[in-house]
Every structure is written in C-alpha cells, then in structure tokens.
Amino acid sequence: MDQPVRAATLSLCMVVKNEEDQIGRALEKASRYVDEIIIIDTGSTDRTVEVCERYGANVWCIPWEDNFAKARNYGLQQARCTWVLWLDADEELEVADVEEWKRALSDPGQLLWAIPLINYYGCAPPDPNRAYLAAQHRVFRNGSGFYFEHAIHEQLVCTNKEQLEGHSLRRLPAVIHHYGYMDAIVERKDKHQRNLSLLNKAQEQPGYHPWIDYHMASEYFRVQRYAEAFGWLNTSIRRFIEAGKLPPSLIYKMKYDILLALGSIESAGEGIIRAIQLYPDYTDLHYYRALIEQMKGNYKEAERLFYHCLELGEQRLPYLILKGVGSFHAMYGIGHCREEMGDWRTAAAKYEEALALNPEHKEAQEGLMRMRSHMERYAHEERREDEDGASQL
C-alpha cells in the first residue's frame, strides 16, 4: 500500500536591522504559509525585534560584520524545517494558490524553487506597471548544501553543483513584491552610500568575484553617473571572460541602458546584435535594438522589432525584464513608428492599445491626443475644400 506523502514544512529566514516600519507587512503575509520564522537581527535600535516576536518569530541578535551572506548563513543554521524561504523586510509574499503551493513543496524530487519578483521603483504608491520583473531561487531544500556567498548582493549557491545539473527552473504559484528601491525607501536608508562602502571593501579581497564590478556599475547607474557605471561594466565583462565565464545578461542590459541614455546610438547599434546572439530570447535587448532603429529613422525595421517584443512577452525566466517592453512600451513604439510614417489612424489605434495595457502611459496619452488633433484638422480641411469646390459650381 502506498504511503501518503508527508507534509513538508517551511522555515522563513530573514536578516533585518531597524525595519519596524516594514517588517510587520512582510511577516503578516508570510506567516500564513510558513511553519517557523527565523529572524537574524544585526543591531536594531528601534522596535524591530518586538514586532518580529509579536508574529512568533525566533530572534537571534548578532553583531553586524559588513557581510550579508554571513548573516544569512547564520540564519540557515537555525532552520529546522524541510524547506527554507528567504525574504527581506521590504518584501511581501503573495501566494496565488495555497493548495498548489503545498503540493509543490511535497515534491520529493525537487531541490529548488523560483518565485517571480515584482521590483517596484519610483514614487509611491507602488505601480505594477512601474517595475522590473524577475524570478529568483527563493525556496530550497534544507540540508542539501545550499548557502549564500558575497558580502553584498549575496547569491544562493550549492556545494554539490552536480545534483543541480539538468534541474529544471520551476516556479511556485506565488509572487514577491519588492519595495526596497522605491524613492522614499532608498532616500531614507541611504542605500547608495552603504552599498558603495560594502562593495569597496569587497574589492579589497584577492580574487573577488566579477559580480562585484557589476554591482558597482549598478550603484553608479542608479544615481545617473553613467561614465563611471560604464567603466565598471566593462571591467566586469573583462573579468568574467578572463574567468572563462559568459558575462551575465544583466550586464548587457545595463550597457545598452547607458548608451541609450547618453544618446550613443552608433555605439549601441554596433554591439546590440552580438548581445542578442548571446541571449536570443531576452526581450529587453530586442526592445533596445528597436529603439536604436527608431532613433536612426528606420521605422519599418523598428516596427518589426517592436512586434517581436510583443511575441516574446515579459515572462522570460531568469532575465530581469522592464515591465512594458513586451507589452505597452512596445505597443507605444509601434504607434510612434506609424506616426512618423504618416499613418495617423494606425498610430492612434496603437496608442489606444498601449493605454488599454497601461492607462497611465503619458507618452501614449500625448500621442493619441496628437493623432486625434491631426485627423480632426485634416477632416476639417477636407470639408472646407469640398465646400469651396461646391461654391464654385
């Protein structure tokens, strides 16, 4: 007789410091789906610990050693459940299907699960159309050799990489809302200076990972210091190649973000095709190529590329995707190309489609008003010409 599948248990592990304003929201949602809460507090001076204990968390207070991976790994040592879920205090877990969630975690053959993330940016309130989409490995089987490395922007790795070969990237029926890079939170925490300090310290270590150079670029990119960001990106690319590794897709995404922000379309156009050859299904790279062709005045080719972005869509694991490049941004791009080609009616229709996907798209709103004004003026001129012709008969 078959034995019933044993119910899996789940430990939530978090590293926190002075998070009283956010931690309650994170624990309110996550506590519904986990069996224990492990909190590693690295020196809070506010009510963070009190709030965590209110949700039944087990709290360990340890000194902060400028190393996120070390703090996370300490938390892993305390976890006692079948699975580990890791979150930050500025994140909120939303499970779409609880029964499917439970069934997935009862799968004896799975070691690792991904959860889609919505990374919000800009001003409050959070807007799902103003976000970056990604998926990260956030749930893993406890005791299977998983741990974190890197003092900042820590990454999950495994001591036994062979067991992960051929392991499919499967997603849990959930989403994580990440609010940490919204304007108000970034300003309040001064994340830029904190991150630069930790990254500079990491670069002092011999043989530090090329990811550190990428994260340096990311910090300068975020404050629009593009020349410095571009320099660190090139350093990261070089060091990945020297290590015999393919530079990650994130590097190429930021590279063309910078070149487009600087208006360097000739430089961008030379390399974007090679980048797409490395990552042929990365929607953002195809979108950037469409923008480059549009800026060059090649509207037919740009339109074709925007349509291809719509075909690729925005659910492209494991890439970081700007929300809209496979939907409303691409649709607006098609409308803009049609406008430049003098096809006002089709342009208006595409702007309307973009607004149906994102009613707050300012450029599409302005474009639609422009097209309606053109068509009304054109219709008025036609009527006047008809009237003038009739009066001459």
Other C-beta atoms within 10 Å of 375: how many? 14
Of 172, 187, 184, 191, nearest in space to 126 by CA:
184
pLDDT > 90 fraction of the chain, expressed in percent and rounded: 81
Work out the pLDDT band at 378, boundaries 50, 70, 90.
confident
Helices 299-312/283-295 angle, 10° precision: 170
Distance (Å, rounded) from C-alpha 382 to C-alpha 390?
Answer: 12
- Domains 10-184 and 187-378 fall in the same CATH topology: no
- Sorted by where each begins, the domain ranges of the chain are 10-184, 187-378
pLDDT the model gives residue 5: 42
pLDDT the model gives residue 194: 86
CATH number assigned to the domain covering 187-378: 1.25.40.10
Tokens at residue 31, please?
């506590």
DSSP state at residue 315: -
Taking 50 as the threshold, does the pLDDT of residue 3 lie above it? no
CATH superfamily placement of domain 10-184: Spore Coat Polysaccharide Biosynthesis Protein SpsA; Chain A (3.90.550.10)
In tens, the pLDDT along 165-195 reads: 666 678 999 999 999 888 887 777 677 888 9
The pTM (predicted TM-score) of the whole model is 0.90
Distance (Å, rounded) from C-alpha 379 to C-alpha 376?
Answer: 5
My answer on whether omega of the bond before 125 falls inside 30° of 0, hence cis, is: yes
